[in-house]
Amino acid sequence: MMFETQRSGRWLILRLTVLVALAALISGCGINNIPTYDEQVKASWSQVENQYQRRADLVPNLVETVKGFAAQEQETLTAVIEARSRATSIQVDESILDDPQKLQQFEQAQGQLTSALSRLMAVSERYPELRSNQNFLALQSQLEGTENRIAVARRDFIQSVERYNTEIRTFPGRIWHSLLYSDLEIRENFKATAENADQAPRVQF
């Protein structure tokens, strides 16, 4: 009886040892990499959203300030307002990551807003009183900071997507993807749509 108990105890310890070893082996083979990288993509995307929203929130005050000194620049002001409206009208959440067409539309709308803001900045050069206005200077600083944050957030998102996509396409991630994570698809990434698109736009007043 005692012999059977000892044998049973040794067998249990052996099984536990094997299970622990297998768990360590499996975790070391990157079984959790795909969901981990997927979560990193989503977190990076949230930062992209946050920074674009921050810029959109600055636009109304910027337009009103410029209008106070350069009301005759109505065409440029309207272009900024309309570009902001298009950029904020696109419903943005994690589901956009699974819809390449919607992601492209979002990116194009944000690019149009960037272009419209650049034209507004060029117009402001013609109005010295505007360029010395304290409210305008504060908005300048905030907008410059936001453009830099957008560039950083986009870079981080691009790197996260590249890491995730590479994991799915290469060994051993490809195996884990086919066995456990086949519902997770390749992610669409931002594409450079203009020359020097990898650099933060210069916002000068």
Please name the amino acid found at residue 24: A
Q: Please identify which residue in the block is written with the tokens 């310890």.
A: 13
Q: What is the sign of the dihedral through the CA atoms of 117, 118, 121 and 122? A: negative
Chain segment 163-204, per-residue pLDDT in tens: 999 999 998 899 889 988 999 999 998 875 444 444 444 444
Residue with the two structure tokens 């083979």? 29
Rounded CA separation 43/38 (Å): 9
35-85: pLDDT as tens digits? 999 999 999 999 999 999 999 999 999 999 999 999 999 999 999 999 999
- Taken as a whole, the chain contains a residue count of 205
Task: Kindly report the average pLDDT of the chain as a whole number.
Answer: 85
